[in-house]
Structure 1
Amino acid sequence: MLTAIERIGNKMPDPAIIFLALIASVILLSQVLDWAGVHATYQVDRQRPAISEPVYQGGSSDIVEAGPTEPPGPGSYRIVTETSSVKGLLTVDGVRYIFTSFVDNFRNFAALAIILVVMIGVGLAEASGLIAALIRKLVGVSSKSTLTFIIILLGMLSSVASDAGYLVLIPLGAAAFMSVGRNPIAGIAAAFAGVSAGFGVNFLITPLDGVLVGITNDAANFADPADKIDLVSNLYFGIASTLFVTIIATAVTTRIVEKVLGDYDPALAPTAGGDGEVEPAVAEVAPEAESRGLAWAGWGTLAAIAFIVLLTAPPGAPLRDPVTDKVIGDSPFMDSLIVIIMFVFLVAGLCYGRGAGTLTTKDQVLATITKSWAGLAALLFLFLLIAQFIACFNFSKMPDVAAVKLGDVLEHIDVGAVWLLLGVVIISAIINFIIPAAIAKWALLAPIFIPLFLRLGVPPQTVLAAYRVGDAPTNVVTPLMAYFPLIVVFTKRYDKNSGIGTVVSMMLPYVIALSILWTLFFLAWYLLGIPLGPGAPVS
């Protein structure tokens, strides 16, 4: 079975090739459906036109139409009948659209700017050694009884800078377990579960959140532009899920994985300089320099937060809504979260670098930022293709027609929202085996799921939460996951006979436990009607 999975996985093309094929498929399929006259007629609630007035937003020379700030009253909406017909992309209009919108599609792709801006701060913090130093410090002060929980929790939080978790925390997890007389391979499993099986939820707002929210809004925009979510739309659920997944993964590690692996036999380790040896992921820093850097980073972070508070807390502050004076919701503060995250990480990274001596010149600082952007080259090209796919898919009206048709079928067979959300979890988990990248997968699924659930009265933030639950657990058993081969290398460091089968077999208990229990946790959250985030109701 494992051999078959590995063979099939090795034959799967790069995600960029997959999206090129999808774009070609959309173009051809849209033309066939256009010739066939495929369409859908449906009734929808539309808000009556409201009087607006032009206002000027700070930082922009564009005039923005600002509508009424009060909730719409009775009679503000009306039922209208609309028809969506599939538009062929090989027609005159379709070909014209492909050529004239190509640059705009990429430029307007929200994830593009988000990832570039955030990586200025996160990339600098990672390159300075701050992320690695924080992980080492927290692992070092934990007791044996809490070691597993802390390593897994740090893995969950490391998604702020995903490379740091894979490259630093996983080998440190093995070393930490071995230092207290436990099997280091179990330490690898625990850290890998935290970094990857819980990827997508966090106590903090991460760069991934910005990308997923951007794709979600792009998918919802052509169904109903009013259905826009923000970065904190899954925050409450993310915080609770982080703790829940950490507890479950800790129990799986101590009660199942460690018992199956048994005591560690040092004779299994390869000889020095053998194939199992890997270079340390992060250069060593003297303990006194690291402590000084962390202290400077702490003061710098407090100063950065204080600065943001000054811009937000006082009435009429720049980051409060100029009309309602609110902070949460549709406000400058919420619109600035990406910049705030970048700013805090940038300040903390600079302070750590100066204190620890890892960043001493302006040239080094600029070089680390340039390097962090250079490492995004492949992702940016994938963004280009994703943007074209979403644009072509939306232009064709196929998502509209598919959502209406599927919605009609589901409404007639009376399938409840719970079963549909369960279907999102299962489909996401299955597709994760062939498209492990969370961004690429959501770019494919969001244009299908979001309009469908909007038609059935389920908001985008709930669908996105279901996707997070289905997406993460199977990360640890798919050989197509980018860091999976590295985990095999780390395992070989302690067992020269280990391989893909070793990693998959020790991670399967996490997949089974999290897939079942996390799904039940999400369904319970939905049925209890708990908000998923500030101003983000579950239904």
Structure 2
Amino acid sequence: MTSTVDARSRTDRFLAGVERVGNKLPEPFTLFLILFGVIALASTGMALAGVTVQMPGSDEVVEVKGLFTAEGMTWLTENLGENFLGFPPLVTVLPILMAVGVAEKSGLLGAAVRYAFGSAPRWALAYAVGFVGVMGSIMSDTAFIVIPPLAAMVFRAAGRHPVAGLLGGFAAAGAGYSTNILVTSLDALFAGITSSVAQILPDPGSPVNPLSNWFFNAVSSIALSLLAGFLIDKVLEPRIRRQGVPTEQVADDGEDPLASASAATTTDERRGLRNALVVALGVAAVMVVAALVPASPWRNEDGAFLPESPLLSSIVFIVFTMFLVPAIVYGRAVGTVRRIEDVPIMFGQALKDMIGFVVLAFVLGQFIALFNWSGVGQWIAVSGASALESIGLTGYGAILGFLVVASLLNLFIISGSALWTLMAAVFVPMFALIGYEPAFVQAAFRVGDSATQIITPLNPYMIVLLAYLRRWEPSAGLGTVMARLLPFTVCFWLVWAAILSVFFFLDLPVGPGNGIFLDS
């Protein structure tokens, strides 16, 4: 008993330490403003020292340019707006988010989630929660708010432990956040950042677009959905029952907005879902036919689709249409979209929800632009690649090291866009110089970006989850949540890394036209 208490004490001290360190980190906007200043000073010092860099495969010797020089200040004053508006994720993320926003505001996504829960038999309920949770990233951060209480509700209605549904839904939504069978705004966001960084390379590899990790994502999302269901069914729920957690709420900390909600779908909602599905299949069929006809303008000059073609360049349009049209049809069926003017209102609401990202994109765009323009990014890439080669760490060991670094940083930097901007600027060029495709590095990042975010106290949605949990366990704390979610983090990380290993060692493409190695 004493050893158990000591172990818990050490765990609590460690988690408290993580929380203290993480709380000292500035917000992402301030963090990248500081990093911008660091690069500005470093680039100026390197420029004054006459530092040069030559990218492998290029005969051109590049001089590092400093921001605090006449040339640098002129560059900044002339390009401040272009650095912001030219930030690639804005071009891809915002249109997709507008369409997803209509799907959310019309009720389509919420009804689809509730239908998936409500149609699952009792024995398969844990796996339904796992699947819906992992797929929940299509709703962006809304998944953390909507899925856990709904999962608790349907678990209770089926005679299973509601806390298992609550925690399991959160774990699946968080630990599997970076993957999905469908193309989401996150794919567009990551692809935009990767593309902007890869521009400094003499051989940037195959173009990176929102579909570049789709093969890897599809396999990962199915495997992680099944794994989440297994952990909920065989690990989480039995442990909660052994601990004697009540199945009925014993505390009420205020009005629960979902207390009167129902997991069941209405007749109108089911009709709307059927109509939306039929229309979605029809739109998809039209696009498939348009792509497959021999003279399709979506084909490249060779009549194919890979490695580059107008079809792959039209992914944003395709995703936008596949969300928007079914959402409007659903909204018409249930009455949430009564006139065409409702659609731009929903567009505006979706963009309003993303205003924080747009503001952050301003400083992210400046940081990436300075990193590329100054030549500091090229210098770090060449120096880092040379260091890896000098110690012989250019194989899969380097990739595993990258996964570990991403997982640890994810404990402190929860924002996926902020973390990938920081890591992509360094690791995409560095790994490209030792032979890895930018799209593969991006795929590897996804493993570290998600698995650990459900056990860090810096995840703001953990506070929301804790508030729900205390309805059943008033004495529960962050340590309670972390201890119960730790098996998901460990298992997700190991299985996801194993999937990445299979793709690596079998040299499988991670997406259409995107392989593992630059020479593949």
TM-score for both structures, normalised by structure 1: 0.88
Q: Which residue, 343, 354, 365 being the options, matches 2:343?
A: 365
Q: Aligned-pair distance for 1:245?
A: 1.6
Q: Aligned-pair distance for 1:293?
A: 1.4
Q: Which residue, 459, 465, 484 being the options, matches 2:462?
A: 484
Partner SS for 2:329 = helix
Contact 2:236 2:484 in 1 (8 A): yes
The residue identity in structure 2 corresponding to 1:461 is A
Q: Which ranges in structure 1 are unaligned for 5 or more consecutive residues? A: 47-79
CA deviation digits over 1:318-337, x for unaligned, max 9?
3233x222234311111111
- Pick closer, same or farther for the CA change 1:386–1:281 going to 2, 3 Å: farther
The residue identity in structure 2 corresponding to 1:350 is I
Contact 1:296 1:351 in 2 (8 A): yes
Partner of 1:295: 274
Q: Aligned-pair distance for 1:283?
A: 7.2
Q: How does 1:26-175 map to 2 (within 5 A)?
A: 26-41=39-54, 44-45=56-57, 80=59, 82-175=60-153
The residue identity in structure 2 corresponding to 1:433 is L
Q: Aligned-pair distance for 1:310?
A: 3.9
Contact 1:531 1:537 in 2 (8 A): yes
Partner SS for 2:53 = strand
Q: Which residue, 394, 399, 404 being the options, matches 1:416?
A: 394
- Pick closer, same or farther for the CA change 1:474–1:226 going to 2, 3 Å: closer
Partner of 1:305: 284
- Pick closer, same or farther for the CA change 1:449–1:286 going to 2, 3 Å: closer
Contact 1:132 1:282 in 2 (8 A): no
Q: How does 1:3-402 map to 2 (within 5 A)?
A: 3-41=16-54, 44-45=56-57, 80=59, 82-224=60-202, 226-227=204-205, 228-262=207-241, 265-266=245-246, 269-271=249-251, 274-275=252-253, 277-280=255-258, 287-321=266-300, 323-402=301-380
Q: Aligned-pair distance for 1:445?
A: 0.8
Contact 1:37 1:85 in 2 (8 A): yes
Partner SS for 2:411 = coil
The residue identity in structure 2 corresponding to 1:275 is D
Q: How many Å separate the matches in 1 of 2:415 and 2:180?
A: 18
Root-mean-square deviation over aligned CA pairs = 2.1
Contact 1:19 1:385 in 2 (8 A): yes
Q: Aligned-pair distance for 1:226?
A: 4.4
Q: How many Å separate the matches in 2 of 1:20 and 1:149?
A: 43
Contact 2:115 2:265 in 1 (8 A): no
The residue identity in structure 2 corresponding to 1:311 is A
Contact 1:131 1:164 in 2 (8 A): no
Q: Which residue, 405, 425, 433 being the options, matches 1:447?
A: 425
Contact 1:278 1:489 in 2 (8 A): no
Q: Aligned-pair distance for 1:103?
A: 0.9
Aligned residues: 501
CA deviation digits over 1:227-251, x for unaligned, max 9?
2223322111111111222232223
Q: Aligned-pair distance for 1:9?
A: 3.1
Contact 1:297 1:352 in 2 (8 A): yes
Deviates more, 1:439-448 or 1:475-484: 475-484
The residue identity in structure 1 corresponding to 2:374 is S
CA deviation digits over 1:21-47, x for unaligned, max 9?
1111111111122223333346x335x
Partner SS for 2:452 = helix
Partner SS for 2:341 = helix
Contact 1:196 1:475 in 2 (8 A): yes
CA deviation digits over 1:454-498, x for unaligned, max 9?
111111121111111111101111222242222222222332222
Partner SS for 1:241 = helix
- Pick closer, same or farther for the CA change 1:131–1:441 going to 2, 3 Å: same
The residue identity in structure 1 corresponding to 2:273 is L
The residue identity in structure 2 corresponding to 1:97 is W
Q: Aligned-pair distance for 1:119?
A: 1.6
More RCO (CA 8 Å, sep 6+): 2
Q: Aligned-pair distance for 1:361?
A: 2.8
Q: How many Å separate the matches in 2 of 1:32 and 1:5?
A: 34
Q: Aligned-pair distance for 1:277?
A: 4.2
CA deviation digits over 1:110-147, x for unaligned, max 9?
10121211122100000011101111111111112211
Contact 1:27 1:89 in 2 (8 A): yes
Contact 2:452 2:489 in 1 (8 A): yes
CA deviation digits over 1:213-238, x for unaligned, max 9?
11111111111364222332211111
Partner SS for 2:514 = coil
Identity of aligned residues (%): 31
Q: Aligned-pair distance for 1:417?
A: 2.0
Are 2:488 and 1:538 aligned? no
Partner SS for 2:516 = coil
Partner of 2:7: none
Contact 2:111 2:265 in 1 (8 A): no
Are 2:435 and 1:457 aligned? yes
The residue identity in structure 2 corresponding to 1:40 is V
- Pick closer, same or farther for the CA change 1:178–1:317 going to 2, 3 Å: same
Q: How many Å separate the matches in 1 of 2:254 and 2:447?
A: 34
Partner SS for 1:84 = strand
Partner SS for 2:103 = helix
Q: How does 1:512-527 map to 2 (within 5 A)?
A: 512-527=490-505
TM-score for both structures, normalised by structure 2: 0.91
Q: Aligned-pair distance for 1:104?
A: 1.0
CA deviation digits over 1:392-419, x for unaligned, max 9?
1111211111111122222122113211
Partner of 1:466: 444
Partner SS for 2:67 = coil
Q: How many Å separate the matches in 2 of 1:405 and 1:309?
A: 46
Q: How many Å separate the matches in 2 of 1:92 and 1:45?
A: 31
CA deviation digits over 1:335-361, x for unaligned, max 9?
111111111111111111111122223
The residue identity in structure 1 corresponding to 2:128 is I
Partner SS for 2:454 = helix
- Pick closer, same or farther for the CA change 1:486–1:305 going to 2, 3 Å: same
Partner SS for 1:360 = coil
Q: Aligned-pair distance for 1:386?
A: 0.4
CA deviation digits over 1:57-104, x for unaligned, max 9?
xxxxxxxxxxxxxxxxxxxxxxx4x43332211011111111111111
Q: How many Å separate the matches in 1 of 2:500 and 2:130?
A: 20
Q: Aligned-pair distance for 1:313?
A: 2.4
Q: How many Å separate the matches in 1 of 2:245 and 2:395?
A: 51
Contact 1:121 1:346 in 2 (8 A): yes
